[in-house]
């Protein structure tokens, strides 16, 4: 039984797809909405509390983000965030808590390999692409915006 031709590989892939159970999209979307939504509600509550306490809007937002990121790092360390993500999926990935989780978890995992070669080089192993392409995209948009201004498009 040598390796397959491209057509046979396609057929095998198709067959594998057929017999592999899939997750229910509707159920996943429901839980992502509920859990992601609850994280956002929590953020909103924190924000309102700081606004009530007399903080300005910018300061209150910063405080809210710091608390959410802190909570996410804490629950990552306690092993709770992955348990939540099991149900939350994109709902735990998209809010800022997901980003914090993706930075905190490699920091914990690679700590044993040292401050520099462990944490230092690996901390952005998951978040790195988001940061890199996030900055690149905003840079490109900035150029377009600047061009538009110079050429009087807007």
Partner 1 sequence: MILGKASIKFDESPYIQSYASVVGKKEGEGPLGGKFDAVIEDPMFGGDSWEDAESRLQAQIAHYTIRKGNFSTENIRYIFAGDLLGQLIATFFGLKDMNIPLFGLYGACSTMGESLSLGAMSVAGGFSECSLCLTSSHFASAEKNFRFPLGYGTQRKFSATWTVTGGGGVILGKKPSKARITGITTGKIVDYGIKDKENMGACMAPAAADTIYQHFSDFSSKPQDYDKIITGDLGYIGQTILIDLMEEKGYDIKSNHMDCGIEIFDKDEQDTHAGASGCGCSASVLCSYVLEQITKGAWKKVLFVPTGALFSPVSSNEGNSIPGIAHAVVIEHA
Contact residues toward partner 1 (CB under 8 A) are 1, 3-4, 6, 9, 12-13, 15-16, 19-23, 28, 76-77, 79, 81-82, 84-86, 88-89, 92-93, 98, 101-102, 104-106, 108-110, 112, 125-126
Nearest distance from C-beta of residue 12 to partner 1, angstroms: 5
Residues in the chain: 154
Asked if 96 contacts 66 with a C-beta cutoff of 8 angstroms, the reply is no
Q: Least CB distance from residue 123 to partner 1, whole Å? A: 10
Closer to partner 1 at the Cβ: 77 or 120? 77
Token pair, residue 102, equals 């993706």
| Closer residue to partner 1 (CB): 67 or 109 | 109
- CA dihedral in degrees (104, 108, 111, 115; nearest 10)? 20
Distances in Å between the Cα of 152 and the Cα atoms of 70, 139, 146, 149 are 44, 20, 10, 5
Minimum Å gap between C-beta 47 and partner 1 is 23
Other CB atoms within 10 Å distance of the CB of residue 72: 26
- Residue 131 C-beta: closest distance to partner 1, Å: 16
Q: Which is nearer to partner 1, 83 or 149 (CB)?
A: 83
Indicate the residue among 27 and 57 with the shorter CB distance to partner 1. Answer: 27
Q: How many angstroms separate the CA atoms of 131 and 139, rounded?
A: 12
């Amino acid at each position: 039984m040598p390796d397959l031709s491209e057509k046979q590989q396609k057929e095998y892939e198709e067959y594998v797809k057929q017999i592999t159970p899939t997750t229910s999209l509707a159920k996943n979307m429901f839980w992502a909405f509920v859990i992601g939504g609850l994280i956002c509600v929590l953020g909103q509550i924190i924000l309102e509390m700081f606004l009530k306490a007399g903080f300005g809007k910018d300061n209150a937002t910063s405080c809210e983000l710091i608390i959410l990121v802190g909570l996410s790092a804490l629950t990552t360390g306690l092993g709770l965030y992955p348990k939540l993500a099991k149900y939350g999926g994109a709902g735990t990935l998209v809010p800022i808590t997901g980003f914090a989780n993706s930075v905190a978890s490699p920091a914990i995992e690679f700590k044993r390999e040292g401050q520099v070669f462990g944490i230092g080089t690996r901390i952005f192993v998951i978040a790195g692409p988001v940061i890199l392409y996030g900055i690149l995209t905003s840079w490109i948009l900035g150029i377009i915006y600047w061009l538009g201004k110079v050429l009087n498009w807007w």
